[in-house]
Structure 1
Amino acid sequence: MATYVLIHGAAADAWYWGPLAAELRGRGHEVVAPDLPCDDDAAGLAEYADAAVAAVAAVGDGPGGLVVVAHSFGGFTGPLVCARMPVDLLVMLHAQVPAPGETPGEWWENTGYWAARRESDRSRGVAEGAEEDERALFLHDTPAALAEELLAKHGRRQSATPFGTPWPLEAWPQVPTRYLLATGDRFFPPAFLRRHVEERLGFRPDEMPGDHLPMLGHPQELAERLEAYRAAL
């Protein structure tokens, strides 16, 4: 039995991990999905990592070790957890890959995100400057009832504080790392992520179906992918 530590992204709580957590628990694993202090203006990246480490400490790790899964903005927190605990595997789920000393606010320009996003939007017929609603941008491949519940009940104010916090590690943690993207993600376009991952992690990411939140739309396949990564260690 492993302990899966699920790190959520910005402006949300950990609710969206629910379907994946159920799949993993059904396979006999412990799941820890902490709510990070995203609406606390006193909290930066260190406090996000504190919350995750404290949640793991409260339950302990299973005999199968720790697997950290970091989603989206959680990519800035997941490696910090790995630097502070004996983690067996880090899975970045269309997550931002930070560079040493880089703030989350700098990441967008440093990586060429905005130019890549404009190109992706144009290819989908989205006019430049147009505002897509959250369902179209993030949740177009998510079951309607889950998308509605997420948008209605589980959004949170995202403090700007962590976006001005330099990522504190001097190098990527010495933990086996995998990267998995969803091919339908419109917020982080797949072509952009492929380049981003190769530039910063030095390997090509793996791919699966889904939008920005495949843990809601494809929880069984995502669980199988995570279990395959763990089994291959």
Structure 2
Amino acid sequence: MTTFGLVHGGWLGAWTWDDVAASLRGAGHEAVAVDLPTEDGSATFETYADAVSRALEGYDDDVVIVGHSMGGHTIPLVAARRAVRHLVYLCALLPDVGRSLADQVATETDMLNPVWLSGLSEPDDQLRTRWVDRDIARRLICHDCDDATADGVLDRLRPQAALPNVAPFSLAEFPDVECTYVVCTEDQFVQPDWSRRVARERLGAQIVELPGGHSPLLSRPSAVVDVLLSL
């Protein structure tokens, strides 16, 4: 039995993994979806990794960690804290050693769809942003979900604090763990060409391509489960 640690993306929550987790459990595995303290203005990616590590205490080393979107900055930190068999980056942002996410956003102009900032509020007093343009949020996060699913996602979006973005990636190198990067070919948020390039350059990862947009865990969970069960 494999334990799958499921790490959500920015502005989202553990609920995004509900369908994937149910299918993994139905296949005889364990699934642990972790709610990250994304609304906490004092939390960093290290804080997020601590939360995931605590949630996985007591599980053996047959653990696969899956990070969606911004979760890609958390999962290598988890692998530096505990035994992990495999890391899966799902339409994910990838750290760059010695650099912050904010620096990447400023200089890697092919990483994100530039319209994303137009959909967000100004930061509040805890440097948290919220999605204020539902059309942009839907286009980027869940454009290929059916209307009911997309509305449910948009209704549950929550604030995302910016502090994790400003600290340089804290590891001197990526953990020596096998990696898979899942690219969705119509991803409207994280640009697929960027994903393919950096997954090879930074991780030497196996690349799996799926059709569809940025959140296949919501739009086509069975396809995500098939990838995970193949590892």
Q: Same fold (TM over 0.5)?
A: yes
Once the two structures are aligned, what percentage of the paired residues are identical? 38
CA distance in 2, matches of 1:44, 1:17: 22
- Map residues 124-163 of structure 1 onto 2, 5 A cutoff: 133-152=136-155, 154-163=156-165
Q: How does 1:190-229 map to 2 (within 5 A)?
A: 190-203=192-205, 205-229=207-231
Aligned-pair CA distance for 1:189: 2.1
Which TM-score applies when normalising by structure 1?
0.86
| 1:49 correspondence with 2:49 | yes
Q: Could you say which structure has the higher helix fraction?
A: 1
Structure ranking higher in strand proportion:
2
- Amino acid in the other structure paired with 2:207: P
Partner of 1:12: 12
Which one is further off, 14-23 or 189-198? 189-198
| Aligned residue identity for 1:207 | E
2 CA distance for matches of 1:203 and 1:80?
17
TM-superposed CA distance for 1:226, in Å, is 1.0
Q: Aligned residue pairs: how many? A: 215
How far 1:36 moved relative to its partner? 0.5
Distance 1:93 1:168, change over 3 A: same
Shift, 1:210, TM fit: 2.1
After TM superposition, the structure 1 = structure 2 runs for residues 91-106 of structure 1, keeping only pairs within 5 Å, are 91-106=88-103
Deviations 1:24-46 (A, max 9, x none): 11101111111101110111111
- Indicate if the aligned counterparts of 2:77 and 2:171 stay in contact, CA closer than 8 A: yes
Find the residue that maps to 1:224 and give its secondary structure.
helix
Aligned pairs for 1:37-186 within 5 A = 37-57=37-57, 60-61=58-59, 65-113=62-110, 117=113, 133-152=136-155, 154-186=156-188
RMSD between aligned residues: 2.0
CA contact (8 A) 2:93 2:190 kept: no
Cα distance in structure 1, aligned partners of 2:163 and 2:23:
34
TM-score when normalising by structure 2: 0.86
8 Å contact from structure 2 (residues 91, 215) kept in 1: no
Structure 2: give runs of 5+ residues left out of the alignment. 120-132
